[in-house]
Structure 1
Amino acid sequence: MRNKPVIGFIGLGLMGHGMAKNILEGGYELWVRGRSNRAPIEHLVSMGAKEAINPKQLAEVCDIIHICLSNAPQIEVIMRSQYGILAGAKPGLIVVDTSTSDPDMTKRLAAQLRAKGGHFVDAPMAGTPAKAEAGQLSTMLGCDRDVLPHIRPVIACWAETITRIGETGEGHKMKLLMNFINLSYADLFSEATSLGAKVGIAPEKLREAISSSHIGQQVL
């Protein structure tokens, strides 16, 4: 790998655009692959990024590729299709999947990339589009320890908190657990709001009362 790795980025939506922008501003050569929305692509190209014709080309020219997509089937297509990443993968390529995805599929893709001499890292992120733009996301990594020094400086462009959970697949497991906790809080708040209304506490008053408390930090 070069002293300053060339970075690829697939998925320039509400989160991905800010992440890619921060990588570019971090001084890395950036190649991007977007979808039908041209606005984020054109913005990044105006800043100096290069646009790839397909994921295969990204794998051929980049050292580290980020994926930021909606679901596991999309990631599988990006990796395994005729013009996907695996078709162009070379020894040493690192793929960083920042999506929320299926840990079992992550392990299968990692095995296929490993057979070509590459490494697959699951790095799902937590935060908002505003935090993505500001480079203040957090991420939980599943990767080999030896890979971490190569990717940490790049990930630090968009994440202020980087936690290695364990081997490949463990990051996605952790993100699913966090989603489970968040949904549980939301369900609990809904139940409390309903009960409050029954005993005469208006929903807006319930929210006002707990918004500044330690409970509010968790559920709002």
Structure 2
Amino acid sequence: MKLAFIGLGVMGFPMAAHLQQAGHQVCVYNRSPEKAAAWAESNGGSHALTPAAAAKDADMVMVCVGNDDDVRSVVYGEEGVLAGMKAGALLVDHTTTSAILAEELAAAAAKLDLRFIDAPVSGGQLGAENGALTIMVGGTEADVAEASPVLAAYGKKVTRLGPVGSGQRCKMVNQIFVIGAVQGIAEGLMIAQKAGLDIPTLIDVLGGGAAQSWQLQNRAQTMSEDKFDFGFAAQWMHKDLGICLDEAEQQGLTLPLTEHVHKVYEQLLADGFGRCDSTVVIKDLVAKAK
């Protein structure tokens, strides 16, 4: 298929590469033209200077940028992807955004005889590089069925959750589950370290029981060693939790844990830890323990 991929960050760069390697004809766009040119040189695809030019004649257009406003900046306007897409083409948004934006984009696409699905991902940079992402999709059954074989190039699991917006709401639940595990591990490590327990042994023991989780297996050791120069940035988790809280407010819900951790990230960002892995929340507990 002829595809376009908009946004070549730590996730988008390898995701677009997997599409090209799967035999598709991929044209990319990035706000930094040099990065798009480098992608094309290393992967054999092409690049364009505007989102509209990248999307021209594409059967599907994937977007993977930072937040709601970033999505709008590459989708709308004379140089946006909607202006370049051919009738009947499918727009796929991999960005983690609000469900409201997903519904907005679906309506905007429909007015132009285009189709839309929201498809946020989980698995981080490593999952993108290995082609092993979990993709949570909202859209019609027909549109998701059409997109799934293509998304399988970088998704080990592609699942439709319901109509447009459902993928984003599933991603919200994912992020709440993740920070719940991370906060719990951080607090547990405070006791473990204070008591002088051997952390590798602790992780091995707990990994065989009900406390087992991806976060425990992949992040507890680095948290205990004060290592955070990798992974999913705290600034992005702060953004994602803000989306969760906005959705909760719209549904008339209160999320105490999410509210607490969102405030912790807010302070960590103010202290200069925004680019650190999201497990940096343990620094808040360490500081309070002094």
The TM-score, its normalising length taken from structure 1, stands at: 0.89
Name the counterpart of 2:84. Answer: 88
Give me the CA root mean square deviation. 2.0
The 5-angstrom pairing of residues 107-186 of structure 1 reads: 107-186=103-182
Q: Which runs of 5+ in 1 are unaligned?
A: none
Q: State how far apart, in whole Å, the 2-side matches of 1:165 and 1:219 are.
A: 24
Q: Is the 8 A contact 2:94 2:119 kept in 1?
A: yes
Q: Is the 8 A contact 1:90 1:116 kept in 2?
A: no
Shift of 1:128: 2.8
Percent of pairs with identical residues: 27
Q: Which residue of 1 aligns with 2:96?
A: 100
Match of 1:189 in 2: 185
Counterparts of 1:46 and 1:168 in 2: how far apart (Å)? Answer: 34
Choose which of 35, 38, 43 in structure 1 pairs with 2:34.
38
| Cα offset, 1:168, TM superposition | 0.7
Q: CA deviation at 1:143?
A: 1.0
User: Which residue identity is paired with 2:20?
Assistant: L
8 A contact 2:128–2:154 mirrored in 1: yes
TM-score, normalisation: structure 2? 0.68
Asked if structure 2 preserves the Cα contact closer than 8 Å seen for 1:89 and 1:116, the reply is: no
Q: Give the match for residue 45 of structure 2.
A: 49
> How many Å separate the matches in 1 of 2:8 and 2:80?
17
Q: How many residues align?
A: 215
- Give the stretch that moved more between structures: 204-213 or 107-116: 204-213
Structure with greater contact order relative to length (CA < 8 Å, sep ≥ 6): 1
Partner of 2:212, secondary structure, is helix
Contact 2:47 2:54 in 1 (8 A): no
What secondary structure is seen at the aligned counterpart in 2 of 1:96? strand
**1:73 aligned residue (63, 69, 73):** 69
SS at match of 1:95: strand
Deviation at 1:118, TM superposition (A): 0.7
Aligned partner of residue 216 in structure 1, secondary structure:
coil
Which has the larger helix fraction? 2
Q: CA deviation at 1:46?
A: 4.0
Please give the secondary structure, in 1, of the residue aligned with 2:31: coil
